[in-house]
Chain A
Amino acid sequence: KAGVTQTPRYLIKTRGQQVTLSCSPISGHRSVSWYQQTPGQGLQFLFEYFSETQRNKGNFPGRFSGRQFSNSRSEMNVSTLELGDSALYLCASSLAGRGGGDYEQYFGPGTRLTVT
């Protein structure tokens, strides 16, 4: 079974631009979560989508948004990029679950975003 895929793997953008990252979950997985990883803040939860609905959201500004499609693929968008948005963005997928972490989450390799 194919794992979680994320595209693109690397991205360089300029301040003020916007960016869209894509995540394809494991086949059959309906929950997709996004995390931002930086050396200073570590791994921080951005949001989770389940059956095309945002189920939970982390403490990030409104510039960060996401969506999920009917095939469970998900995208996240960051508008008006800032230097501090440079990070590794990780996507994770899991079976539906009741929540509370009762199902394993499988992570993709991440998208490395550099904002200059």
Chain B
Amino acid sequence: AQSVTQPDIHITVSEGASLELRCNYSYGATPYLFWYVQSPGQGLQLLLKYFSGDTLVQGIKGFEAEFKRSQSSFNLRKPSVHWSDAAEYFCAVGARGATNKLIFGTGTLLAVQP
């Protein structure tokens, strides 16, 4: 079955430090992969997506992610975190078949220390 695992429930980093959020997926073919961010009381905002091609994808707000098929991973990175990056981050995979259903991971809550 398709699934997404985000092993880190909560991460705290210092402002200016680098960030890597982990995401592993289970999918039988080349997946469509997404990272979304959710601020408190808000909906989800798409940070970036991978459909095909270059395995390093750039997104908004200075985020990037790398698709690694051999590791079934799609980790999110940012070289220097800003206090405004504090939020919850969700990795998702597009379900198979004629549907736009997304399967989400459980999320990683990011706290940023001054």
Which residues of chain B have C-beta atoms less than 8 A from A92's C-beta?
44, 100, 102
> How long is the Cα–Cα vector from A82 to B43 in the complex, in angstroms?
23
- Judge if B84 is at the interface, Cβ distance under 8 Å: no
Which residues of B in the span 52-77 have a Cβ within 8 Å of any Cβ on A?
none
Q: Contact between B43 and A100 (Cβ–Cβ < 8 Å)?
A: no
List CB contacts (< 8 Å) of A45-97 with chain B.
45, 48, 50, 55-56, 58, 90, 92, 94, 97
Interface residue A115 (Cβ < 8 Å from any Cβ of B): no
Chain A residues whose CB sits within 8 angstroms of the CB of B32 once the complex forms: 100-102
Enumerate chain A residues within 8 angstroms of B98, measured Cβ to Cβ.
55-56, 98-100
B94 touches A45 (CB 8 A): no
A27 within 8 A of partner (CB):
no
Give the complex CA separation of A58 and B107 in angstroms: 20
Out of A56, A103, A104, A108, which one reaches B101, CB within 8 Å? A56
Task: Report how far A17 CA is from B51 CA in the complex, Å.
Answer: 42
- Size category of the B interface is 20 to 34
Give Cα distance in the complex from A59 to B51, angstroms.
27
Complex: A101 Cα to B99 Cα, angstroms: 7
In the bound complex, CA of A67 to CA of B10 (Å): 37
CA distance A50 to B100 in the complex (A): 9
Assembly CA distance A43 to B43 (angstroms): 11
Can you name 27 A-B pairs with beta carbons within 8 Å? A33-B102, A42-B105, A45-B95, A48-B101, A55-B98, A55-B100, A58-B101, A92-B44, A99-B95, A99-B97, A99-B99, A99-B101, A100-B32, A100-B94, A100-B100, A101-B93, A101-B100, A101-B101, A101-B102, A102-B51, A104-B34, A104-B46, A105-B100, A106-B46, A107-B43, A108-B43, A112-B41
A48-B101, A92-B102 known; 4 other A-B pairs, CB under 8 Å? A56-B95, A101-B93, A101-B102, A106-B46
Which of A's residues lie within 8 Å of B, judged by CB? 4, 31, 33, 35, 42-43, 45, 48, 50, 55-56, 58, 90, 92, 94, 97-110, 112
List residues of chain B with CB under 8 Å of any chain A CB. 31-32, 34, 36, 41-46, 49, 51, 90, 92-107
